[in-house]
Amino acid sequence: MIRVLLPAHLKNLAHVDGEVTVAVSEPVSANGVIDAIEASYPMLRGTIRDPVTGRRRPFVRFFIDEEDHSHDNPDQLLPDAVREGRVPFIVVGAMAGG
């Protein structure tokens, strides 16, 4: 199972607390994780990736073990630490005011 940490707005929208876990078939990629999140929590469809273009939203970033993976190919294999459940895949909303 893949551990995922969502930002507060999306946790509220999905009615979840803390981390969520989702099953993602190999090879585990960022797109695969988001696909699984959207399947488990349909109310999050389009909130992390634009529903029309499929691209990560500009104010959303992906972190793993304190490293920014936002600009990686979203279909590439994620690090073992995520795939083995040792660290979460973190979805972060940009720290912008408003």
Partner 1 sequence: MSGVRVLVGTRKGAFILTADAKRQKWDVNGPLFGGWEMYHLKGSPVDPNRIYASQSTSWFGQLIQRSDDGGASWQPVGNEFRYDGVPGTHQWYDGTPHPWEFARVWHLEPSLSDPDTVLAGVEDAALFRSSDAGATWQELSGLRQHDTGSSWQPGAGGMCLHTIIESPSNPARLVVAISAAGVFRSDDHGVTWKPITKGLLSEGIPDEDAEVGHCVHHVAAHPSRPDVMFMQKHWDVMRSNDAGESWFEISGNLPSDFGFVIDVHAHEPETLYVVPITSDSEHFPPEGKLRVYRSRVGGYEWEPLTKGLPQENCYVNVLRDAMAVDTLEDCGIYFGTTGGQVYVSANGGDSWDAIVRDLPAVLSVEVQTLA
What does R_g of the chain's alpha carbons equal in angstroms? 12
* Token pair belonging to 64: 């793993």
Site for partner 1 in 53-92 (CB under 8 A): 57, 59-60
Please identify, using beta-carbon distances, which residue of 39 and 43 lies nearer to partner 1: 43
Please identify, using beta-carbon distances, which residue of 47 and 69 lies nearer to partner 1: 47
Going 23 to 25 to 28 to 31, the CA torsion angle's sign is negative
From 17-25, 28-36, 45-53, 76-84, give the range in contact with partner 1 by CB under 8 A.
45-53
> Is residue 25 a contact partner of residue 32, using CB atoms and an 8 Å limit?
yes
Please identify, using beta-carbon distances, which residue of 28 and 38 lies nearer to partner 1: 38
